[in-house]
């Protein structure tokens, strides 16, 4: 048990991911205010990005741009991959951020339209207003 706790404490990023993910999910599902729902959605999406960046980390590695003698074409075969971080998770993160921003844009547009029509941001109030 103690080892498990110790192992978990050595990986703060994963703990942060779990906390943010569940927190976001909770807000998103339970909160009646629509803008707060979106805040929850944003938290949830960002927590996944945090996980994605975390798995790309290597100890003592640098940015994935060939440096020093590695940049010479003739010696490119001898470079050590362990010196460079994995660029792919970062690329995926960038793409996921774009998707996230687009989602947020569409959802805020919907919320604005709802607010104009019903004068409220609270889902329960709006539903009452309709009935």
Partner 1 sequence: MSYHLPVILFLLPFATAICMPMVGSRRRRWCRPMALTAVFAMCVAAVVNLWIVVEHGETRYAFGGWPISTSLPDAPLGIEWVNDGLASVMLVALSFLAWLCLFYGGPLTLQSLGAREVLYYTLILLLISGLTGIVLAGDIFNVFVFLEVAALSAYALVGIPGGRALIVAFRYLILGTLGASFYLLGVVFLYASTGTLNMADLAQQMADKPELMTSKAVIGGTTFMFIGFGIKMALFPLHGWLPGAYTRAPDSISPLLAALMTKVALYGWVRIMFWVLGARAEIGQVHVLTLLGGLGALAAVVGALLALSQEDVKRMFAYGGISHVGLILIGVSQGNSTGFAGSMFYLINDAVMQAGLFFIAGAAIHQHGTRTVEDLSRLRQSPWLIGALIVLALSMIGIPPTGGFFGKWHIILGAIEAGNYLAVAAVVVATVRALKMHGGVEISDLGAENVDAVRRGCVNLERHLRNIQKYYLMWVEK
Q: Taking the complex as a whole, how short is the minimal distance between the CB of residue 62 and partner 1, in angstroms?
A: 20
Are 103 and 109 in contact by the 8 Å Cβ rule? The answer is no
Using the contact rule CB under 8 A, the part of the chain among 5-13, 61-69, 75-83, 119-127 near partner 1 is 119-127
Question: Does residue 52 touch partner 1 according to CB under 8 A?
Answer: yes
- Sort 68 into a burial class: Cβ within 10 Å, 0-12 / 13-18 / 19+: exposed
Buried b (16+ CB within 10 A) or exposed e, 20-58: bbeebeebbeebebbeebbebbbbbbbbbbebbeeebee
> Interface mask (CB under 8 A) for partner 1, residues 55-84, using x and -?
x-----------------------------
Binding residues (CB under 8 A) for partner 1: these are 21, 25, 28, 34, 37, 41, 44-45, 48, 51-52, 55, 88-89, 92, 95-96, 99, 102-103, 106-107, 109-111, 113-114, 117, 123, 126-127, 130
């Amino acid at each position: 048990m103690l080892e498990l706790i110790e192992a978990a404490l050595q990986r703060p990023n994963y703990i942060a991911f779990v906390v943010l993910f569940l927190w976001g999910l909770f807000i998103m599902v339970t909160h009646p205010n629509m803008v707060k729902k979106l805040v929850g959605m944003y938290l949830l999406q960002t927590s996944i990005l945090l996980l994605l960046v975390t798995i790309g980390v290597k100890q003592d590695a640098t940015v994935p741009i060939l440096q020093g003698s590695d940049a010479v074409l003739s010696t490119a075969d001898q470079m050590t991959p362990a010196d460079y971080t994995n660029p792919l998770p970062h690329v995926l993160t960038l793409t996921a951020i774009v998707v996230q921003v687009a989602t947020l844009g569409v959802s805020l547009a919907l919320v604005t339209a709802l607010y104009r029509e019903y004068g409220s941001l609270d889902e329960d109030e709006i539903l009452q207003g309709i009935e």
